[in-house]
């Protein structure tokens, strides 16, 4: 197998695993991706030319926006409203970090997303537990 074939096979496997993933797993993966991008952005000097700070913060922001846009107020209006406020806070902070070229803002956003990630991990773990009928 050539390197190109191996890369194509890996990409096909990844796409298939995402397409067939339960919704809670997809949400978890989105949080993990946003957190990873923020950690990478924190390692950049936001004022240096030629770095990836803006790109990485932008990618994290894209994920947060997508999470906000996917909220469904029909099933849990109070939870959706609380999540919407948290996502808007994160979006505002990410915009401020880009505008001010300030990486010190990012850990606060990462902290919010990590707290939400832990909650989703619990949801995902609970969904995989067999019901005891209690």
Domains in the chain, ordered, with CATH? 21-125 (1.20.120.340)
For 12-21, what is each residue's pLDDT tens digit? 555 555 566 7
Q: What is the mean pLDDT of residues 69-77?
A: 87
For 23-46, what is each residue's pLDDT tens digit? 888 999 999 999 999 999 999 999
Query: How high is the mean pLDDT of the chain?
Result: 86
pLDDT band at 8 (very low <50, low <70, confident <90, very high): low
Lowest mean pLDDT among 93-102, 105-114, 125-134: 125-134
Task: Give the residue, 17 or 83, on which the prediction is more confident.
Answer: 83
- Is the pLDDT assigned to residue 118 strictly greater than 90? yes
CA 116 to chain centre: 10
pLDDT at res. 18: 54
Q: How far apart are CA 24 and CA 102, in angstroms?
A: 32
* Number of other residues whose CB lies within 10 A of the CB of residue 90: 25
Q: How far apart are CA 43 and CA 110, in angstroms?
A: 13
């Amino acid at each position: 197998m050539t390197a190109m074939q191996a890369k194509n096979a890996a990409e096909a496997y990844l796409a298939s695993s995402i397409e067939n993933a339960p919704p809670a797993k997809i949400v978890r993966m989105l949080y993990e991706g946003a957190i990873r991008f923020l950690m990478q952005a924190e390692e950049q000097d936001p004022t240096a030319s030629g770095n990836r700070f803006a790109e990485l913060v932008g990618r994290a922001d894209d994920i947060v926006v997508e999470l906000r846009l996917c909220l469904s107020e029909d099933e849990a209006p109070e939870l959706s409203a609380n999540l919407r406020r948290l996502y808007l806070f994160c979006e505002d902070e990410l915009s401020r970090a880009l505008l001010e070229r300030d990486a010190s803002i990012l850990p606060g956003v990462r902290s919010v997303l990590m707290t939400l990630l832990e909650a989703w991990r619990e949801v995902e773990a609970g969904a995989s537990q067999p019901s005891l009928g209690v």
